[in-house]
Structure 1
Amino acid sequence: MRIIQHQLAIGTRHATPYYVIRGSIPGDTLVITAGIHGNERASILAAYRLLSNLKQGSLCLRRGTLVLVPIVNRSAYRRGIRGVPDLNRTFPRTKGQKASHSLSAAMFRLAANMKARWYIDLHEANGLSKVNRRFLGQTLIACPGSSEVPAVRRVVRRVNRSIASRRKQFSIRLSTLPGSGRHAAKHVLKAKAITVETCWSLPVVTRVRDQSRVIRNLLNEAGML
């Protein structure tokens, strides 16, 4: 297993590190992004926990290539804000359309150049989805009719077994969000694209744990561990 650090949007004010981890057996490429919104702390911490586990050898990538971007929107992260404009509305909406922000353009170009077959976008949201369906906290989101939906259902089922309180368990949402990284990955790159949302009202240690469990299960679904 090899881990190599690179720079996204190198030479610009948006420059941010990303990591390419290659398993010993060739396989699909899976992209994980976090920090699209700079104030979604647990997603970023979970991404760095994954990187640390890989570096220390407590987790080993067996097959394929993982592209990990722990903080996409570094300027928003430094300010502790969601980001202006909201970067998750600036990705290409259709094939042939360009991203409307230089950073989302660089992120999308990376995913395209790496021929991403999976695209996992880590986020956080308000409220518990099991308490009120209007809330997105504790959800895995995929596009309707997508081939990844069975995998999402299996992951939610497995992760929920480790969460004693039903109200804090994950739900599945099927929806589109034009302009998001997930929508662009699905509809332009034809990748299996999933958004992970933990709930802000839970303790940060719980949110990082839940994000980490979801990530590990998705890596298993992709046949990479």
Structure 2
Amino acid sequence: MTPPAGLFLSFEGGDGAGKSTQARLLGEWLTGLGHEVVLTREPGGTELGVLLRDAVLHGDHVDARTEALLYATDRAHHVASLVRPALARGAVVVTDRYLDSSVAYQGSGRDLGADEVERLSLWAVDGLLPALTVLLDLDPVAGKARLTGDPDRLERAGDEFHRRTREAFLGRATAEPGRWLVLDATRPVDELADAIRERVAPLLGVVP
């Protein structure tokens, strides 16, 4: 396929790591530089995604394979209806979670097999990967302490589940350092934002 004209960026990490905050701050900086910015998330970045998010995170129990397929369904629709059109018109798309979350959570956390889930996810998005994935790394116990409100199905999955997902994220980042930026999520918010801008700036040909 024709390479996208815009720039695709993703944020990954455990719950409570600060992904939404950093995505918002990055979006504000990019907007200030004159870029069209599309902030989105998975699941839930589209109307269909909102329904699927509610089903997979807050609905009745679903087995692990059904969970993986629901995420893949959301991602396929998200990319086809929102992400690719935005990239085609030259926007910067910043997503809170993308397919690396499925590989970590369903592939490793749910023991479905990272390779199988990755193949499913790549097929769902026709091979589209971010130019940069920012991993905000945080110990799962510390992340749980940051959460407010009633926990969803994944947040209730247990410490061992979240330990496996963290290791999966770190393993993927180590294997593909050109696409990943790993940051200690316990650092101050402004320091994290500066480090992210420093890595994103060359992708846009600007000074951070």
* TM-score over 0.5 (shorter chain): no
TM-score (norm 2): 0.39
Question: Higher strand share goes to which structure?
Answer: 1
Question: Higher helix share goes to which structure?
Answer: 2
